[in-house]
Structure 1
Amino acid sequence: MSAEIVVLLVVFVGLLILNVPVAVAIGVSALAMIATLGHVPTAFLMAERMSNGINSFPLLAIPFFVLSGVLMGQGGMARRLMDFAAAMVGRLPGGLAYVNTLSCMLFGAVSGSAAAAVSSIGGFMIPQMKEKGYSKEFAVALTATSATTGLLIPPSNIMIVYAVVSGGVSVAGLFMAGVVPGMLIGFLLMVASAVLMRVGGHSKAGVAQVPRFWPAFFGALPSLLLIFIVLGGILGGVFSPTEASAIAVAYAVVLGGFFYRQLGWADVPKILLIAAKTTSVVMLLIGASQAMSWVLTYENIPQMVSEAMLTLSANPLMVFLLINVLLLLVGTFMDMTPAVLIFTPIFLPVVVELGMHPVHFGIMMIANLCIGLCTPPVGTCLFVGCSVGGTTIARTTLPAIPFFLAMLVGLLLVTYVPWFSMALPGWLNLF
């Protein structure tokens, strides 16, 4: 191991231990490694790599999708989607838990934010479930895990990030590849909740007042149309994913401000500030990670990792399992965006060498890191859910284990059965 790599690891891990923000830790460790090279202008190269890293047309979609997600969260869509979910599955035994999962899936897909889904849906559903006799910890665990499915169901910001860092993977292909895996994991979470409810004696608890289907459907339809407008326009060649993000903002403004009438001029500064903060963090992460990726490539780290893994085993099944285990460990202490930015250039050459399509690997990686959003110590969705539900992570971790297992089953199916990810984009000729 060269001195440059040692410097990178020591600085990066040390800064994380000191609780320095991940974006800063990535940037400083990359800067330190560039400085050890000695024969390049450190400050100039770092600035150049960071600016080139965010100088990408597809990345323009991120601020717009972030803004549309905030508008959707503030614009009254959550309650209408919950009513629609209740109309579909609320009459089933234990229907309240299914309503929770389906609502999180729908709102997470529309808003593009798992944390927003936990906050918006959980703020209403967790108290409702508690009134029906479910424990707070069960409700929080179900909400936190269900919300992550929205990151697989398009439109999804993390898919755009992966498309950029992987070197030109089709955004449209990724969007369509995530539909079936997102629904699969949502279904598995419903199965897990059904088993737990039967064991816990809640299998007869439904929804107190189930809305009529057609009024609930037409109430939620304008919100759901956002997904079809974005995907239909991209697949039909009407506009690019970046242009689709701007259209999503315009649609969210019209829907929340003029149709639902829950957005006013007084809300604009707050909404823009939230979107700007989120976008700034993401862009800083991307810029710093692109600088680190250049350093890793300069030192041939991806090639070294690829050779090492292929030396351990030539069996693709074992290598995929090893990558999943490593990503699961990473996801427990690192958020999804920096994990995708750092580990995609390292693992992608390995899986491509073994015959896995880059789109398939992207979906596998996102499904894997979704589990990390619900696991301590850095599980963002778990933190938000515990805050909304008024409980602690220590109390929620044990009830969440069955849902983690359901997500792991979904991850294994997505990893080893390419059909789940590849069938829909293949049928639409998106490769």
Structure 2
Amino acid sequence: MALIILCVIFVVGLLLGMPVIFAIGLSSIATVFYEGLPLAVVFQRMASGMATFSFLTIPFFIFTGELMMYGGIADRLIRCSKAMVGHVRGGLGMTNVLACTMFGGVSGSPVADVSAMGSALIPLMKREGIDADYAVNVTTYSSLVGALMPTSHNMIIYSLAAGGVVSMNALIMAGAIPALILTIANVTTAYVVARRRGYARGEFPGWGEVARSLASALPGLFIVFIIVGGILSGVFTAAEAGAVAVFYALLLTVFVYRSLSFDNFMRAVAKATKTTGVVLLLIGISTMFGYLMSIYGVADMVGDMLSDISDKPWVIFILVNIALFIFGIFLDMAAHILVCTPIFLPIVTHYGMDPVQFGIIVLLNSTIGLNTPPVGAAFYLGCAIGEVPVGKVVRSIWPFMVALWTTLMIVTLIPEVSMFVQSVL
């Protein structure tokens, strides 16, 4: 009965449009009251969930992304991408993909990526005669690569949701090839759709402009190498890497680019503080929710249900992906990771999947949720920037959805895709 109360209140809260964080908290508190436990148990679990040293990395990475967004790095990445591929048919779409991918590498946040790059690229594409729905879809799907980048704070959330059995080093290496595959899939889709719609070519600006724009963008991109190199070489931990990234972002935007004003600095501080507060509160409440699910053996029940359907690992993995997709429709990215990981990780590891590979699968499924109504934070933000009806964008979303699902199936069914870099190093 307690499990029924937990699940029903959670689902009803989501269906009523209640914020995920409140649906999780209300269902957990109601279950605790039903069991006759003291309310202090909730606060103790919340505090223990947030009191983890590794979580220091989250505000550092978030603040780094905000500094880069307000510090002018987006304009330089757009200029660089346009110089390289803007002259190809559908070049502005491909420019969008490359620029969003590169900015995702320094921000680690798909939603921040849509906000920064979409605000510049979507209006530019519309002025060039490109349909708004195409511009929005290219932007929102290209931004999803940021979840697989080394600066992604969602990797940290998964690492801790997995019970500490997955290191940040392993996740950083595992995300490299899937991020490349997803970028290639997005570029290909953007090109094919652009050709089908007959978009015009741009003009090649010359190799001199390519070199100048690349030189201007490289200092911003160098932050990825600092984080990856520092963590993998053992020079500093993930939390220390985040602190170094913030320091480097400040030096770059204040003294090198000289593009970060005091007002924008304060906006970055305020935005990073707000985002960090929401994420940590969600982590704390989800810790209580996960604790209750573990008590009631939810993972074992779901595993038994799946084993009744099939005992073939690849069938189980696809069914888990379908379940993760359904959860992603209703949950924010962080909540999706925190709720689903304790349920499905024991199941997939039982059938031979490495927890690192599953981490990339969870991250990819979480990004699908970002672009799927009714939650779809990146999706709605892109539609608002493009000033285009949601229905029009949904009707043309399928080529980009197929590209993302293709990447997801490759990662799911071919373990080497996410494990190869780690095996080599």
Same structural fold, with TM-score higher than 0.5 when normalized by the shorter chain: yes
Q: State the match for 1:361 in structure 2.
A: 358
The one-letter amino acid of 2:402's match is L
**1:175-213, Cα deviation, whole Å (9 max, x unpaired):** 1111111111111111112221221112x4235756712
Q: What's the secondary structure of 1:212's corresponding residue?
A: helix
Q: Identify the residue that residue 104 of structure 1 maps to in structure 2.
A: 100
Give TM-score scaled by structure 2 length.
Answer: 0.96
Instruction: For 2:395 and 2:310, locate their aligned partners in 1 and report how far apart those are by CA, in whole Å.
Output: 34
Contact 1:177 1:424 in 2 (8 A): yes
1:56 matches 2:52:
yes
Change (3 A) 1:316 1:143: same
Large movers: runs of 4+ above 6 Å: none
Contact kept, 8 Å, 1:108 with 1:149, in 2: the verdict is yes
Aligned to 1:36: 34
State the number of aligned residues. 423
The counterpart of 2:202, out of the listed 206, 209, 231, is 206
TM (norm. structure 1) is 0.95
Identical pairs, percent: 39
| Per-residue CA distance 1:335-367 (angstroms, 9 max, x = gap) | 111011001000000000000000000001111
Counterparts of 2:191 and 2:14, CA distance in 1: 39
* Paired residue type of 1:215: R
| CA gap 1:281/1:148 in 2 versus in 1, 3 angstroms | same
> Which of 135, 145, 149 is 1:149 aligned to?
145
Secondary structure of the residue aligned to 1:332 is helix
Unaligned 5+ segments in structure 1 are none
Partner of 2:113: 117
Q: Give, as a single letter, the amino acid of the residue that structure 2 aligns with 1:195.
A: V
Letter of the 1:349 counterpart: P
- Give the alignment partner of residue 263 of structure 1, picking from 243, 260, 265: 260
- SS of the counterpart of 2:330? coil
Q: Which amino acid aligns with 2:324?
A: L
| Alignment partner, residue 423 of structure 1 | 420
Deviation at 1:46, TM superposition (A): 0.6
Match of residue 246, structure 1, among 240, 243, 247: 243
Look up the equivalent residue of 1:311 and give its one-letter code. Answer: D
Taking the TM superposition and a 5 Å limit, the aligned residue runs for 1:201-350 are 201-202=198-199, 204-206=200-202, 209=205, 212-350=209-347
Say yes or no: does 1:160 pair with 2:161.
no
Shift of 1:132: 2.7
Residues 31-65 of structure 1, C-alpha deviations (whole Å, 9 max, x = no match): 11122222x32x11111100000111111100111
Instruction: Check whether the contact 2:91–2:191 (CA below 8 A) recurs between aligned residues.
Output: no
Tell me, in whole angstroms, the C-alpha distance in 2 between the residues paired with 1:215 and 1:268.
27
- In 1, Cα distance between equivalents of 2:203 and 2:157: 39
Moved more, 208-217 or 18-27: 208-217
Coordinate RMSD, CA, aligned:
1.4
Q: CA deviation at 1:134?
A: 1.5
Structure 2: gaps spanning 5 or more residues: none
CA distance in 2, matches of 1:220, 1:284: 35
Letter aligned with residue 65 of structure 2: G
